[in-house]
Structure 1
Amino acid sequence: MSTTSTNTDTAGAVETGATPVPRGRVIFASLVGTSIEFYDFYIYATAAISVFPLLFFPATSATGALLASLATFGVAFIARPVGSVLFGHYGDRTGRKATLLGSLLVMGIATVLIGLLPTYAQIGLWAPAMLAIMRFCQGLGLGGEWSGAALLATEYAEKGKRARAAMWPQLGAPIGFLFANGFFLLLTVWMGHDSTDPAHDGAFLTWGWRVPFLASAVIVALGVYVRVKLEETPVFARAVARGEKVKTPLKTVFRTSWRQLIQGTFIMLATYTLFYLFTTWILSYSIGAVENGFLGIPYQDFLVLQLIAILFFAAFVPVSGALADRFGRKPFLIVVTSLILIFGMTFNAFLSPDVMGTGEAANMGLMLVFLIIGMILMGLTFGVQSAILPELFPTNVRYTGSAIAYNFSSILGAAVAPFIAAWLASSYGVGWVGVYLGSMAVLTLLALFSTRETRDLDLDNVEDAAVSA
């Protein structure tokens, strides 16, 4: 830990009477929580493509079962704004630490219970109903998790290095993806599961798919242990000492910061759409049966490509933080979002079955290039979101404001993205999925152009700036 960071922590502690917290502990606490949350989220996303259509949603067609399963995937995004309001209220009223513990436990318990659910063959329609309820609870927990972790990182950050500090919880997304999908890959290889010809009585579909969900209990316990040892953030503690807490953060944020809520929601839109196209929809399109219009790539082969590409996602998250601190959030995101728009126009050139090939003849090298480009752009756009969204709001409603913007964007850009993309690809061709991504990028660009730069704002004084904007 550097001398500067030690001095910063100590200064905050002296002013608020709090015990100084080592920066390494702050980094680990913000990173471990989001890693767990995204792990839980991704194992559901993977199972929604490869497991749940077979075990929870019997239908007359494979496409119908897939769409039904993806619909429950979207249930969590309806829950996330509810979670943002609930956990945001307590995060702004009682503090960041206790709220972060609560969100982690809600998400973790729901995930473990999914691993214990009976299937449709065992209890009929109660199975998908219970799955949807647990998925709702997952979304509720994640609705409060991300904002709390982002605030933990930003409100402890050194001056001029806020985006670099804020990128740590963003690394939880690729880390969670690697653990979740790596786990599924190992299980399917070990149990000999073939996604193109699944055996309903095989070990993987009988019990193996449950293991990643149940294993969440162990890593949730680790996350709780780490977060119990945290102190309250110095920025929030100073706000409490100045008597700036509000009784109704939700009412206050809509009254004083409604413009920032709209801006933050659409700033995150292209990021969310890209994120879930490349972690959920692309899996269904790539491993689906050729006779249904998909590519028919074996699940294990495609998952290896995804795991390679996700390393580029992780590598470019810290690059994003450094560049956003150097050039500013707004100009940096305008450039990256413009590149996402251009990339969307290339989908047909990469993914068309005539170009890519299908089954054993699929061009795996071309697919890997496509995935890597998407994940590089994902790292660049995602890494800075945990800095710019909290910076839009004053301290006394920062948890609520950033959580609502982040999670309302999840409905517009993530909840429906796999569903819309699957429908577009099957009805009009895969090129229209890229057009869909490009249209979301245009909306994000409009939001960015309407937003002023936040890099040099003092988080202790951002309230005046936000109100006068």
Structure 2
Amino acid sequence: MTGSSSTATSAPTRTPVRAAVASFMGSAVEYYDFFVFGSAAALIFPHVFFPDGGSSSLVMSFATFAVAYVARPVGAVFVGHFGDRIGRQRVLLATLVMMGGSTFLIGCLPTFGAIGWAAPVLLVLCRVLQGLSAAGEQSGASSLTLEHAPEHQRAAFTSWTLTGTQGGQILAALIFIPVVNMPDHIKDSYGWRIPFWCSALVVVVAYFIRRGLHETPEFEQARSKGEIARLPVAVLLRDHWADVLRVILCATIAAVSTVFGNLAIAYGKEVGLRESITLWLVVVANAFALLTQPLFGRLADRIGRKPVFVYGALSSAVFMPFYLLSMGQSNELVIFALAVVTFSCGYAAANAVWPSFYGEMFSTRVRFSGMAIGTQIGFLMAGFAPTIVTALGGVQKGGWYVTAGFTAVIAVVASLSALTARETKDVPTAALGRKEVHAEPRSGQPEVRKQLRAPSALAPRRSAR
């Protein structure tokens, strides 16, 4: 690759480890905040922010959880625009502060008993702020890490973005477990607020790690060559519309995470599991995922993104019914084992690989926007999964088959969509998202010329003879 020496010397060097750590911490903040809210929505909010505390309150409480997912596609357009215009690093600092601030405010809200229906209204407004900030966090962090990562190690490094979600969920659950064991009068007055207030500490740590991170070489080179799009969304929809659609459908697999982390908690409580046990299931499964997700990332660098993603999606559907059925039994060892198998050995494969899989579909000039818009529309399914499944009776005793069936449908849709994608594990970072590229040869292998289909094509085209 040729270029002027001034451009080469002015561009920042790749810092893959620091980028991975910054992405890990940012995702940890996001999912700490989201899991705290999801746990509270399942266990606390129905009788704190709503009037009767019954099943209708649980549905409304889960609806507040879903509100953020409605706000996220709107935030994705806005955040993605600036991420592709002014850079990944500065936008990610802003989303981090917004997420932490809105979570802290939730811990300060008055309850329904104090101000009536104004309480859930304020809760929804704070949840919207969470959604707007979360819209760009994972996509921006994944873009930043991918563009800093060495060739042929992109999946391994970007997997740490999603491994941060496991770190955040573990921290949130560990803080929430003592809360659910408090006496009711303490838990319902100020006890539930403590995890939300603790978010401020996590944000401060992540902010200082992220603040000193350089912008990516790919973005700086695009800016120096005048390749930054004035309207990234317009370029995205013109050149990459099929990839956006593909990401939307693949991203519905994130519903498995909310099924596991929120619906299973509510279902376990319904069939007799102690609240603390349901939370420990999340802690243990996510702890194992801290180990398995980097391994799945490395595997994707060796065999490709598609087979690892499809395995993760389909295995989630296979294991989920066994996990749910075990909750109605008395053998806690079996329940914990199936939780680890379902989440850490199944879903974790798709979770680890999607940052590289989705991000490599787009060019540098629209990568932030493409990932943000595609994932956030797809994540709507994850946001509404608790409400939909609860309304269909999935949280009632014997309703496990509703949740299992929902998971299976999501897994099949995501897998079929993934199979239509091109494999990009051997495509150089600078050539991602372009019509014609040369695959970079592995050491000891002859160079192989590969022509990828245009980003807008749904079906492969034969090269001209």
Tell me which residue corresponds to 1:404: 373
Contact persistence 1:346–1:431 (CA under 8 A): no
Distance 1:452 1:214 in 2: 44
Greater CA deviation, 84-93 or 339-348?
339-348
Describe how 1:388-427 pairs up with structure 2 within 5 A: 388-412=357-381, 414-424=382-392, 425-426=394-395
- The alignment status of 1:69 with 2:61, answered yes or no, reads yes
* CA displacement, residues 120-177 of structure 1 (integer Å, 9 cap, x when unaligned): 1111111000000100110110101111110111000101111001111111111001
Distance 1:55 1:26 in 2: 40
**Deviation (angstroms), 1:269:** 1.7
**Deviation (angstroms), 1:62:** 1.5
Distance 2:144 2:261 in 1: 26
Match of 2:400 among 395, 419, 430: 430
Greater CA deviation, 112-121 or 446-455?
446-455
Contact persistence 2:249–2:414 (CA under 8 A): yes
Distance 1:300 1:364 in 2: 12
Match of 1:18 among 11, 18, 28: 11
Distance 1:99 1:415 in 2: 24
Tell me which residue corresponds to 1:307: 283
**Deviation (angstroms), 1:459:** 2.5
**Deviation (angstroms), 1:373:** 1.7
**Deviation (angstroms), 1:208:** 1.4
Greater CA deviation, 22-31 or 96-105?
22-31
Describe how 1:154-303 pairs up with structure 2 within 5 A: 154-189=146-181, 192-193=182-183, 199=184, 202-270=185-253, 272-287=254-269, 294-303=270-279
Distance 1:181 1:252 in 2: 41
Contact persistence 2:162–2:352 (CA under 8 A): yes
Contact persistence 1:347–1:434 (CA under 8 A): no
What SS does the aligned partner of 1:384 have? helix
Contact persistence 1:261–1:401 (CA under 8 A): yes
Residues matched between the structures, number: 433
Task: Decide whether aligned partners of structure 1 residues 441 and 153 sit closer, same or farther in structure 2, where only a CA change above 3 A counts.
Answer: same
RMSD (Å) for aligned C-alpha atoms:
2.0
Distance 2:131 2:123 in 1: 12
Distance 1:276 1:148 in 2: 22
Distance 1:12 1:378 in 2: 45
Tell me which residue corresponds to 1:4: none
**Deviation (angstroms), 1:251:** 1.4
**Deviation (angstroms), 1:32:** 0.9
* CA displacement, residues 98-133 of structure 1 (integer Å, 9 cap, x when unaligned): 110111111111111101111111111110000001
Quick one: which amino acid aligns to residue 370 of structure 1? L
Task: Decide whether aligned partners of structure 1 residues 433 and 468 sit closer, same or farther in structure 2, where only a CA change above 3 A counts.
Answer: closer
Contact persistence 1:40–1:216 (CA under 8 A): yes
Provide the identity percentage.
32
Describe how 1:434-449 pairs up with structure 2 within 5 A: 434-449=404-419
Task: Decide whether aligned partners of structure 1 residues 459 and 184 sit closer, same or farther in structure 2, where only a CA change above 3 A counts.
Answer: same
Task: Decide whether aligned partners of structure 1 residues 12 and 455 sit closer, same or farther in structure 2, where only a CA change above 3 A counts.
Answer: farther
Distance 2:167 2:115 in 1: 35
**Deviation (angstroms), 1:423:** 2.8
Tell me which residue corresponds to 1:114: 106
Distance 1:347 1:182 in 2: 22
Tell me which residue corresponds to 1:93: 85
Tell me which residue corresponds to 2:455: 467
- The alignment status of 1:455 with 2:425, answered yes or no, reads yes
Match of 1:340 among 316, 323, 340: 316
* CA displacement, residues 238-290 of structure 1 (integer Å, 9 cap, x when unaligned): 111121111111111111111000111112222x1211100110011111xxx
Larger helix fraction of residues: 1
**Deviation (angstroms), 1:91:** 0.3
**Deviation (angstroms), 1:441:** 1.1
Distance 1:315 1:240 in 2: 37
Contact persistence 1:96–1:232 (CA under 8 A): yes
Greater CA deviation, 450-459 or 73-82?
450-459
**Deviation (angstroms), 1:313:** 1.9
Distance 1:307 1:104 in 2: 24
Contact persistence 2:242–2:456 (CA under 8 A): no
Contact persistence 1:13–1:19 (CA under 8 A): no
Contact persistence 1:341–1:437 (CA under 8 A): yes
Distance 2:6 2:15 in 1: 11
**Deviation (angstroms), 1:223:** 1.8
Contact persistence 2:267–2:395 (CA under 8 A): no
* CA displacement, residues 341-386 of structure 1 (integer Å, 9 cap, x when unaligned): 32345466435xxxx24xxxx3322321221122121211100011
Tell me which residue corresponds to 1:56: 49
Distance 1:338 1:129 in 2: 38
- The alignment status of 1:386 with 2:355, answered yes or no, reads yes
Distance 1:397 1:19 in 2: 20
Contact persistence 2:14–2:217 (CA under 8 A): no
**Deviation (angstroms), 1:299:** 1.0
Distance 2:39 2:81 in 1: 32
Contact persistence 1:336–1:380 (CA under 8 A): yes
Contact persistence 2:251–2:378 (CA under 8 A): yes
Task: Decide whether aligned partners of structure 1 residues 204 and 16 sit closer, same or farther in structure 2, where only a CA change above 3 A counts.
Answer: farther
Distance 1:380 1:461 in 2: 26
* CA displacement, residues 306-347 of structure 1 (integer Å, 9 cap, x when unaligned): 212221222211111011001001122223323233234546
Distance 1:422 1:12 in 2: 60
- The alignment status of 1:33 with 2:21, answered yes or no, reads no
What SS does the aligned partner of 2:412 have? helix
**Deviation (angstroms), 1:13:** 9.9
Q: Which runs of 5+ in 2 are unaligned?
A: 436-453, 458-465
**Deviation (angstroms), 1:26:** 1.8
Q: What TM-score do the two structures reach when normalised by structure 1?
A: 0.88
Distance 2:104 2:215 in 1: 29
Distance 2:321 2:175 in 1: 33
**Deviation (angstroms), 1:426:** 5.0
Contact persistence 1:49–1:69 (CA under 8 A): yes
- The alignment status of 1:329 with 2:322, answered yes or no, reads no
